[in-house]
Chain A
Amino acid sequence: MPTMNMIRALNSALDVKLGQDPDTLIFGQDVGYFGGVFRVTDGLQKKHGLKRCFDAPISEGGIIATAIGMGAFGLRPIAEIQFADYILPALDQLVSEAARLRYRSNGEFWAPITVRSPYGGGIFGGQTHSQSPEAIFAHITGLKTVIPSNPYDAKGLLLAAIEDDDPVIVLEPKRLYNGPFDGRHDQTLETWAGVPEAEVPEGHYTVPLGKAAVVREGRQATVLAYGTMVHVAKAGIEESGVDAELLDLRSIVPLDIETIVASVTKTGRCVILHEASRFGGFGGELSALVQERCFWALKSPVQRVAGWDTPYPHAFEWDYFPGPGRLAAALRRAMED
């Protein structure tokens, strides 16, 4: 099986789908001839033709609006928004349109669109190339949000998203595109070579939406994470010495509540880790769910480790980015209580 980095795995998913289904097409800023600023659509226009993968005007609202129209007609458009920070100009199209078209038309129209977008920090991208907006989408009923943490999942989840009949946002952790990253920024860069999750089949397969993965089994605490933070969590758990179970949620809507409840019920402790700022972040929802469903099993308060409640500051990348040390401290705190 070939080893692929996350960019190649995503490219392979798109290639497979364009080859299989003439009703899929890709559009977004710089995705056509150039192949995308992160190279995810590299070669697809050349291979599949101009109208299967083409450049879009710099109008995120326009991109999502036209994707919805194409989807309503019967296509399966795959839109790229160049950075997740720039989904915000399209928010009304996602919230009031894509998410509700099926409901309000009683199933006459729907929007089977996929929106791919690189998200997250760790690349010195400053305030508007680093954000993690997943909580905003999770709050909107009718939108699904998927966040892979490795190449194998990235391809399988993207294919599942494209084949899903509802709107799905695929947030791609840009810091993981070329290799795993555990938050230890002063160590040498790793690539995906030799990592088992980077063994990616060439052909078609899916990873179902709404199924968390147990990345590490443990008895003393449960860590909930997704995207880049899965790798940070692995390092943080090691650093803490706590025998923690690590769940990679993979999709936050639909959410695999069963796996979460089973794990926390077993361990009795829960620490939630995300890169987005903390207040109103998705960790708040997870914390409430765990508290509601596992209250009698909990031995200590649920802890949240997250970005600070500030914009993402350029010079302070590593002061902002929640690294393994902060997770380890939270795990130790959870054990003390």
Chain B
Amino acid sequence: MANLPPLSLHIPEPSARPGEQSGVAAVQLPEPGETRRPDTLAVEADMRDLPFGLIRVLDDQGVAVGPWIPSVSPDLLRHGLRSMMLTRIFDDRLFRAHRQGKTSFYMKSTGEEAIGAAQSMVLGGGDMCFPTYRVMSWLHARGYPLTEMVNQVFSNEKDPLKGRQLPILYSARAYGFYSLSGNVGSRFGHAVGWAMASAYKGDDKIALAYIGEGTTAEGDFHEALTFASVYHAPCILCVTNNQWAISSYSGIAGGDETTFAAKAIAYGIPGLRVDGNDFLAVWAATEWAAERARSNKGATLIELYTYRAAGHSTSDDPTKYRPADEPEAWPLGDPIERLKQHLITLREWDEDRHAMLADELDQLVRVAVKEAEAVGTLGKSKPPVSEMFEGVFKEPDWRVIEQRRELGV
């Protein structure tokens, strides 16, 4: 043993840091159409190549190719495009509102809009999504009222969550959107439990959960997969791999060693790796997993391979830890541009309509922000202070009653 070199501790590092050339453009990716599509009822053991492929439908010209082309009407595609554009415009506007001191915090999902938009359209009204803070396109695609969203971000008197939650940590049951919380990962298992309950009741609803690739390190991720595997829970478990967890690149979550989709193999459930910036690919993979879940074949793990094009939140400056050109260098492009291109190649869209739509959405967001501002921004307006004490328990106990009295509300 003495002749061995001494052990050394491995600390992973990304390919490039600020001032260096980003390595993302050189990442080796399967071609559009290359990754095969098994039958939705296929045996998991026969699909263990899929976590190392990449489901891609749109090619560089915006043409749909390969076995995963979903059948989606042009109207639905246009709705998807509109939802993604709305999400981006809304995000940009509310991010600026934070800079103007109108709220305490905001997070954008720039570059990741295809995920929530496509998946919310594939799943049914009774299905439940267990979101992260970066899938707001789910709500936009389902038409959640914009003014209410801004009211929540401003924590004002008309905030539907009564000022109790941080901006964008929405809850919207009627839109199939489970309550968000600031601690990451902890709702992943709720989705599995929700799906188990649906199966227990002989219902037809399925669940869909999101977790960031960084957060797959939490026990919650592995626990949820175990339960989903054991009980064949009818759910779709999604890892949004946007390459960065605040300042930590995906290697800090084990991404240098294997793919996130490949985690499924150890649990004996199918793992799909999907181009998350390709609306059609996200659609097709979700439809596949939903059909499998509804056929009582249990859970699927989907890695949505994407890129966090903006900072982590209003508190973050990504140029401090990653090359400034990296978002531009991302090889899978912008999901909005790509779906737009596709619709144009189908002759279902053109630049003029696109520009008109952008103006229309901009106007909608402007009006919503104006309406919310009229109610008030953070600190200028808030729900009645008594709301602080409501909802701790279904019925308030003596502590809450006494403390309300002490505060005089």
Contact = CB atoms under 8 A, between A and B. Distances in A.
Interface of A: 29-30, 32-34, 37, 50-51, 54-62, 85-86, 88-89, 124-129, 278-279, 308-311, 313-316, 319-320
B164 A128 contact: no
Given A127-B164, A314-B104, A58 B399 contact: no
A54 B286 CA distance: 37
Contacts of A308: 388-389, 400, 403, 407
Interface stretch (B122-130, B212-220, B291-299, B354-362): B212-220
A127 B246 contact: no
A37 B155 CA distance: 24
B248 A55 contact: yes
Contacts of B389: 308, 310
B17 interface: yes
B259 interface: no
A260 B232 CA distance: 58
B148 to A, nearest CB: 15
B182 A57 contact: no
Given A34-B321, A50-B13, A316-B388, A55 B407 contact: no
B165 A314 contact: yes
A125 B248 contact: no
Contact of B164 (A55, A60, A86, A315): A315
Contacts of A310: 388-389, 392, 400
Interface stretch (B42-50, B200-208, B378-386): B378-386
Given A29-B246, A58-B253, A59-B219, A313 B378 contact: no
B166 A127 contact: yes
Given A33-B321, A314-B164, A62 B11 contact: no
A89 B217 CA distance: 12
A129 B182 contact: yes
Given A58-B184, A128-B181, A129-B166, 4 more contacts: A33-B247, A278-B399, A308-B403, A319-B388
Given A124-B105, A128-B182, A319-B385, A309 B159 contact: no
B218 A59 contact: yes
A34 B320 contact: yes
B3 interface: no
A332 B11 CA distance: 57
Interface in B367-408: 378, 382-383, 385, 387-389, 392, 399-400, 403, 407
A62 B383 CA distance: 39
20 contacts: A29-B245, A34-B321, A51-B9, A55-B247, A57-B253, A58-B184, A58-B245, A85-B182, A88-B183, A89-B219, A125-B104, A127-B182, A310-B400, A311-B392, A313-B388, A315-B162, A315-B164, A316-B387, A319-B388, A319-B409
- Between A32, A56, A316, the greatest number of chain B beta carbons within 10 A of the residue's beta carbon is seen for A316
B315 interface: yes
A86 B321 contact: no
Interface residues of B, number: 52
The 6 nearest A-B residue pairs measured at CB: A315-B163, A126-B166, A128-B182, A57-B217, A34-B247, A124-B104
Contact of B155 (A29, A279, A314): A314
Nearest to A56: B252
Contact of A37 (B159, B166, B246, B383): B246
A311 B169 CA distance: 15
The interface residues of chain B, by DSSP majority, are classed as loop
Interface string B179-206: 0011111100000000000000000000
Contact of B163 (A54, A125, A129, A316): A316
A80 to B, nearest CB: 13
- Between A54, A61, A129, A308, the greatest number of chain B beta carbons within 10 A of the residue's beta carbon is seen for A308
B323 interface: no
Interface string B135-174: 0000000000000000000011001001111110100000
A129 B169 CA distance: 13
B246 A315 contact: no
Contacts of A56: 252
B327 interface: no
A220 B184 CA distance: 47
B380 to A, nearest CB: 11
Contact of B166 (A30, A58, A89, A125): A125
A279 B218 CA distance: 30
B331 interface: no
B268 interface: no
A279 B214 CA distance: 35
B378 A55 contact: no
B182 A309 contact: no
B254 interface: yes
B150 to A, nearest CB: 14
A160 B387 CA distance: 43
A58 B255 CA distance: 13
A279 B182 contact: no
Nearest to A59: B217
Contacts of B169: 126
Given A89-B219, A308-B389, A315-B155, A34 B164 contact: no
Contacts of B392: 309-311
Contact of A30 (B247, B388, B407): B247
Contacts of A34: 246-247, 320-321
A28 B108 CA distance: 25
A59 B385 CA distance: 36
B185 A124 contact: no
A48 to B, nearest CB: 13
Contacts of B220: 89
A61 B219 CA distance: 8
Nearest to B10: A51
Contacts of A279: 399
B388 A128 contact: no
A37 to B, nearest CB: 7
A51 B8 CA distance: 10
